[in-house]
Amino acid sequence: MGLFGLAAFTAERRTKEIGIRKVLGASILGVMKLLLREFIILIAIANLIAWPISYYMMNRWLREFAYRAPLSIWIFLSAGFAAILVGLLTVCYQAIKSAVNNPVSSLRYE
């Protein structure tokens, strides 16, 4: 819900910029790239920060058990991939929603 709210807020904040870009000939794909680049970088940085912390905490927690499950890199990569996928779907929805709107209506009110 937080990512959805942040994507909606960003799309709403940049409505005039998206309208100007569309008037000047930007495609829907170009508008989506504009909004996606920012979020993908943020999600990647969040994953890079979270992976070492979660590895350390899971190792400490699993140390207490007699039968320990091994921690693999694939666990962290799949969690990162899932986070990026959810982010892509959320931001794509908001980007398409704002890119399909009529640019004149977004530029009319100031």
pLDDT in tens, 49-65: 999 999 999 989 988 88
**pTM of the model as a whole:** 0.75
pLDDT at position 54 is 93
pLDDT at position 109 is 60
pLDDT at position 51 is 92
**What is the distance, to the nearest Å, from the Cα of residue 88 to the centroid of all Cα atoms in its chain?**
5
Extract the tokens encoding 91: 């931001």
Q: How confident is the model at residue 110 (pLDDT cuts 50, 70, 90)?
A: low
Judge whether 11 and 34 are in contact, CB under 8 Å: no
Residues belonging to the chain: 110
* CA-closest candidate to residue 19, choices 31, 32, 6: 31
pLDDT at position 38 is 84
Classified as helix, coil or strand, 70 is: coil
pLDDT per residue as tens digits for the range 3-30: 778 877 887 788 888 888 888 888 888 8
> CA 38, CA 16: separation in Å to the nearest integer?
18
| Domain around 85 | 2-108
Q: Give the count of domains, the chain.
A: 1
> CA 35, CA 65: separation in Å to the nearest integer?
45
Average pLDDT over residues 67-81: 88
pLDDT at position 49 is 94
